[in-house]
Amino acid sequence: MTTIAKNSPAHATLAVVFQVRAGKLQVLLWHRAKAPFAGAWALPGGYLDRGETLETSIRRHLAAKVDVREVSHLEQLETRSDPKRHPKEWQLATAYLGLVPRGVDPALPEDTDWHSVDRLPKLAFDHGAITLAGRERLQAKLSYTNLGFALAPQSFSLSELRDIYAAALGHDVSATNLQRVLIRREVLEPTGKRREPGRAGGRPAALFRFRSPKLEVTDQFAVLRPPER
């Protein structure tokens, strides 16, 4: 006979939401006003309600911080179960990875803002480690899937896509190599349009788009490495 513990843990859902902004990979954080960790920044999220699925819960909590229609990809990242992760209660936390395309600027509450992952402020609980785990997941999937679709606008030049990948991966990326890899995998397709050059002049840049807005494994053993020097 199975015995159910009378004192079950609370369960929270959290979101690591990334966007490439100002040439940097940034994460969405909110400023805590109450203890524990009053004054610290934290990942958006909250408690799982009775009868809710985990994804329903995190979408409900995200809706209080950002227009969830702007989140182009959402996937479960990990569950943290250390009994001491919360100083006042026994709490499990299931984290999700969310991505917002570049160029989208959703309205945010006053207590919420974007922060560079390379220069994170003081974070509550174990949210710093969860944020870095989210970045590691994103970097891995950019290598072997078409997940770049969730960070890129609907159309882009190859140099713009290179900048997005470089910001997310944390190292330089060759536009020529990126084009060769993604086109060989049939991830990109030309739109047939060009972007007129800016004030500096030059040739109009060909515009591309991702073939599919859904996650697909394109090369399960691929790794996008920094260019050799």
Report pLDDT digits (tens) over 49-108: 999 999 999 999 999 999 999 999 999 999 999 999 999 999 999 999 999 999 999 999
Domain match, 28 and 124 both: yes
For residue 202, pLDDT over 70 is answered with: no
Residue 145's pLDDT band (boundaries 50, 70, 90)?
very high
Domain match, 54 and 94 both: yes
CATH code at position 169: 1.10.10.10
Domain match, 201 and 114 both: no
CA distance 126 to 93: 10
Q: Provide the sign of the torsion angle of the four alpha carbons 35, 49, 107, 214, taken in this order.
A: positive
Domain match, 128 and 157 both: no
Residue 222's pLDDT band (boundaries 50, 70, 90)?
confident
Question: What percentage of the chain exceeds 90 in pLDDT?
Answer: 80
Q: What would the mean pLDDT of 37-42 be, rounded to a whole number?
A: 96
Domain match, 90 and 200 both: no
Per-residue confidence (pLDDT) for residue 58, from 0 to 100:
98
pTM of the model: 0.93
The parent domain of residue 168 ranges over 144-210
Per-residue confidence (pLDDT) for residue 108, from 0 to 100:
95
Count of domains for the chain: 2
Per-residue confidence (pLDDT) for residue 2, from 0 to 100:
42
Phi, psi of 172 (to 5 degrees): -60, 150
Q: What is the pLDDT of residues 163-174, one digit of tens each?
A: 999 999 999 998
Secondary structure of residue 164 in the 3-state scheme: helix
Per-residue confidence (pLDDT) for residue 3, from 0 to 100:
44
Instruction: Name the token pair of 148.
Output: 């770049």
Domain match, 151 and 198 both: yes
Domain match, 84 and 188 both: no
